[in-house]
């Protein structure tokens, strides 16, 4: 098989509805970046934070007892896409302006600020919340 084609295949992992799934998902994402040669990518920490936020949201709002969530990562050489599939109802919406004393409500705001694109799609049971990061070196160049 051509190694270049390997980039088109997603990496995915299923996680149970438990707290330790969030750090496990971050480790899986870091391992995926290493496999794709992106371990030193400038946006790796942003991607990791978004994985944490999406996994946490799935656990808190999208995974009924006895179920879990799927983290799927795909890299095509230019765009890294993360998806969290859960079986919960409804679509997440960012809180417009959480109060300073609120303990939550900032996750989707962070994802919106860090990712190049994000969104939600329905699936037969539940939803998929996704985020994309452009990895092309030219995208990181700031025009002055």
Q: Each residue of 109-137: pLDDT tens digit?
A: 889 899 999 999 888 888 999 999 998 75
pLDDT given for residue 28 in this prediction = 97
pLDDT given for residue 34 in this prediction = 93
Provide the β-strand partners of residue 80. 75, 133
Q: How far apart are CA 84 and CA 102, in angstroms?
A: 24
Q: Each residue of 29-47: pLDDT tens digit?
A: 999 999 999 999 999 999 9
Share of the chain above pLDDT 70, in %: 76
Cβ burial, residue 66 (10 Å; 0-12/13-18/19+)? exposed
DSSP string, 73-92: EEE-SSEEEEEEEE--SS--
Q: How far apart are CA 112 and CA 44, in angstroms?
A: 16
pLDDT given for residue 109 in this prediction = 84
pLDDT of 68 higher than 80: yes
Query: pLDDT band at residue 144, thresholds of 50, 70 and 90?
Result: very low
Which strands form 117-122's sheet, in the order they lie side by side? 11-16, 68-75, 79-86, 127-134, 117-122
pLDDT of 108 higher than 60: yes
Share of the chain above pLDDT 90, in %: 56
């Amino acid at each position: 098989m051509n190694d270049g084609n390997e980039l088109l295949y997603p990496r995915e992992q299923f996680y149970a509805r438990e707290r330790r799934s969030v750090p496990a998902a971050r480790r899986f994402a870091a391992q995926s970046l290493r496999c794709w040669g992106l371990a030193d990518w400038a946006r790796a920490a942003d991607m990791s934070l978004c994985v944490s936020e999406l996994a946490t949201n799935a656990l808190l709002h999208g995974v009924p007892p006895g179920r879990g969530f799927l983290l799927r990562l795909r890299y095509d050489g230019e765009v890294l896409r993360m998806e969290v599939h859960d079986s919960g109802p409804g679509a997440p919406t960012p809180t417009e302006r959480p109060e300073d004393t609120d303990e939550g409500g900032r996750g989707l705001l962070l994802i919106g600020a860090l990712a190049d694109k994000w969104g939600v799609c329905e699936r037969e049971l539940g939803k998929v919340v996704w985020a994309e990061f452009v990895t092309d070196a030219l995208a990181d160049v700031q025009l002055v």
